[in-house]
Amino acid sequence: MTDASDFDDAAARDAADAVYEALIARVGEGSPRPRLAPTRRTVELLGDPHRAAPVIHITGTNGKTSTSRMIESLLRASGLRPGLLTSPHLERFTERIRIDGESISDEAVARNWEEILPFIAIVDAELEDAGEEALTFFEALTVLAFACFADAPVDVVVLEVGMGGEWDSTNVADGQVAVFTPIDLDHQARLGTTITEIARTKSGIIKPAASVVSAKQPDAALAVLEDAAELTESTLAVEGDAFDVLESRVAVGGQLVSIRGLAGEYRDIPLPLFGRHQAENAAVAIAAVETFIGSGRLRLATEVVEGGLGAAASPGRLQAVGSEPVVIVDAAHNPHGAEALVAALDEYFDFDEVDFVFGVLADKDAVGIVDVLARTGGRFTVTRPESERARDVAELAAIVAARVGADRVQQSERLDDALDDARAWAAEAPKRAVVVTGSIALVGEAMSIAADRGWGRA
């Protein structure tokens, strides 16, 4: 057994990095397996750590991580000690597992991994004997997160689905509150080719007699959620009916929002995030916490909402990582996310010209994203994230040029070179900006480059 005293900071970081190397040696999270039995078997062997605290379970197409973070922040402002699992990570995998508002320590993640590894090995061997693949990256990560939360311990777990819902490994947990952010087309090869099919997969997180909180949805998705709630005898609260955003006004560093919750109104609350979509995420978060704490009948204290939303952060989402020239990163990786990005650029910023440093993974709707971004009149510097799943630069540049014209497109194989080129262009005139988007992996790499080079420092 490894004791915390055996670790200094460098050794702990090395040990945590070794955990990540062990995880990524497994089947990647881009290729999830539609199964729950291996994850369920592993947590049973561990003594059911997924049952150590009540769960708020979150799925949807866009806004999951931002909403999860707001829920977690509101819970902390309410005096609770939450655990939070989100995915994917931007810079380091320990970001995914948070305890009481902080990324899990290197020491804790390494210690918990060492403790669960014998049980993971048992399940791996059982799967091999049955002719099945060993636990995947995300299955093993989910088990690790449950073990970390039970070890901490935490009062409540905020659990973001990795992909879909019904067969996602997080679904071994029973969420007493199921939260749905907007559902749209994404991951069609895995989840279905229509919004109805995708919504059916995501609705699988609704457990019997649960409380369901949903953002505004397309009619097809809402019909699925209504049917699922009825079948499970769950209650359903939908934005625009049971709760809503009353007003969102641009403010320094973000916006002021007024929200009608399930149990009361919250007026002129500072939210340090940009975009109307973040106001709507905040409304969903408030309704979810009202539901968890008081079954939707108890108004949250104003200071809880002000403190929770005021401390909310959503790294990689409309985040400025550089100045002179301005560099913004945004993890929009599908057309719905691109719509939110374009709307926020128009409402919250005063740029005359924008260069989109743009790269996508091969399974994403590049044409749909480009068509939305093209409405800004911006130019594109096409590049790629460091992922084997990334779309080829020349291929992507051709796609972009076909939509916007070759005169608005340049390309660079390396992200650092693409950023240098885009920043040089932006520095030539006032009110120009660089926006890095198209891939969460690309955004994370850009954030690391910006931090290393000190672009955000005065």
Reported as a single tens digit per residue, the pLDDT across 366-392 is: 999 999 999 999 999 999 999 888 999
Compare 237 and 363 and report the one with higher pLDDT: 237
Integer Cα distance of 409 and 159 in angstroms: 40
The residues, ordered by sequence, that sit 6+ positions from 32 with a Cβ below 8 Å of its Cβ are 136, 138, 162, 163, 164, 167, 168, 169, 190
Q: Based on the number of CB atoms within 10 Å of its own CB, is 442 exposed (0-12), middle (13-18) or buried (19 or more)?
A: buried
Parent domain of 197: 49-98+145-310
User: Are 301 and 397 contained in the same domain?
Assistant: no
pLDDT at 220: 96
pLDDT tier at 1, thresholds 50, 70, 90: very low
Integer Cα distance of 85 and 98 in angstroms: 7
User: Are 202 and 81 contained in the same domain?
Assistant: yes
- Backbone φ and ψ for 139, nearest 5 degrees, come out as -60, -45
Number of Cβ atoms within 10 Å of the Cβ of 264: 15
- Per-residue model confidence as pLDDT tens digits over 163-198: 989 999 999 999 999 999 999 877 666 677 899 999
Cα-to-chain-centroid distance, residue 137: 17
Residue 350 has pLDDT above 80, yes or no: yes
pLDDT tier at 458, thresholds 50, 70, 90: very low
Q: Based on the number of CB atoms within 10 Å of its own CB, is 1 exposed (0-12), middle (13-18) or buried (19 or more)?
A: exposed
User: Are 245 and 304 contained in the same domain?
Assistant: yes
User: Are 373 and 304 contained in the same domain?
Assistant: no
Give the mean pLDDT of 100-122.
97
Residue 437 has pLDDT above 80, yes or no: yes
Cα-to-chain-centroid distance, residue 95: 11
Its sign, for the CA torsion 71, 72, 77, 81, is: positive
User: Are 188 and 264 contained in the same domain?
Assistant: yes
> Is 229 inside any structural domain?
yes
> Is 285 inside any structural domain?
yes
> Is 323 inside any structural domain?
yes
Integer Cα distance of 431 and 419 in angstroms: 17
The answer to whether 384 and 359 are in contact (CB under 8 A) is yes
Give the mean pLDDT of 77-86.
98
User: Are 296 and 327 contained in the same domain?
Assistant: no
- Per-residue model confidence as pLDDT tens digits over 124-154: 999 999 999 999 999 999 999 999 999 999 9
User: Are 263 and 412 contained in the same domain?
Assistant: no
SS3 219: helix
pLDDT at 188: 64
**Percent of the chain topping pLDDT 70:** 97
